[in-house]
Amino acid sequence: MPELPEVEVIRRGLAGVLTDKVIIEVTVLEQRSFPGFNARTPGFIWGARVDQVKRRGKMLMIELIPRVKTRVAASVYPHVLMVHLRMTGQLIYRSEDNDGFAGGFASDSLVGSLPDKSTRVIIDFIDGSKLFFNDQRKFGYMKLMRQDLLDQDSFLSSLGPEPLDETLSWQDLRKSIGRTSTTSIKAALLDQKRVAGIGNIYADESLFRAKVDPRRSVASLSPVEFRRLLVAIRACLRQSIADGGSTARNYVNSEGLKGEFLDLHAAVYGRTGLPCPHCGTPITKIRVAGRGTHLCEKCQV
């Protein structure tokens, strides 16, 4: 599943091509991929203009400005089209001018003729361009919500703070994670209810940079270590965004290219047996919180 940097790269790609596009049709080929879509839903979308593309954790949020007021009162409310790619989701934009992008799970669908057997939702814009939501395993989804009711969404309301939010202090992070918790710090970082957007890759890399053993309990971390951890998390995420994300197995960024973070900057993740870049000790792989976890036993204490 893509983590925060990969979703942010796709968000930027979407913003570059979708902003100010006007929707004229939404075709749902798989109901499970657009829960809540019914006969009334097109009335809330038809004629809406894409205002902004935002992100919350690993969720993409396409903000829509409604068309002029009609007899359908609900249609005058700004809506948000939420997209969660999960494991095999793809967003592919195609236009008549052949400009576009493809991001998400790497498969032939990114470059092949669309729609194909993995296409679940098609969004048509007034200029003839299209956005395809593909998902082989059907774990991802699109969802339409009124903007003023977003705080009632069970997923969004459960998310922890954004690690790249400049107003987030190390004290805020410690409070959200639970400073007296006996949970391992690795498990806490993976818990989206404690902090949003961090997955296995960036948890391992952040803990290495912060010199913290992933097996330690949250309660055992000192204020100095929490400060280091927040700095490390932000540095890893920002570097990965600059590199186009990371490629673990089958992920590509919004230009259809593999992200380079793992190749260029990973210190521990996927480097089992290779020397630690700081001390030369072989990187080990263990299991923490049910996940493969990479660390340097000497540098991380």
Annotated active-site residue in 86, 143, 216, 291 = 291
Annotated active-site residue in 3, 6, 8, 225 = 3
Pairing of strands 251-252, 100-105: antiparallel
Annotated active-site residue in 2, 5, 163, 214 = 2
- Residue keyed to tokens 């968000």: 11
CB 205 within 8 A of CB 236: yes
CB 202 within 8 A of CB 236: yes
67 carries an active-site annotation: no
CB atoms within 10 A of CB 152: 10
3 carries an active-site annotation: yes
Closest Cα partner for 197 from 137, 237, 235?
A: 237
Annotated active-site residue in 55, 58, 209, 228 = 58
298 carries an active-site annotation: no
How many angstroms separate the CA atoms of 244 and 219, rounded? 34
25 carries an active-site annotation: no
How many angstroms separate the CA atoms of 161 and 223, rounded? 18
Pairing of strands 119-125, 141-146: unpaired
Residue type, 286: I
Q: Which residues are catalytic?
A: 2-3, 58, 291
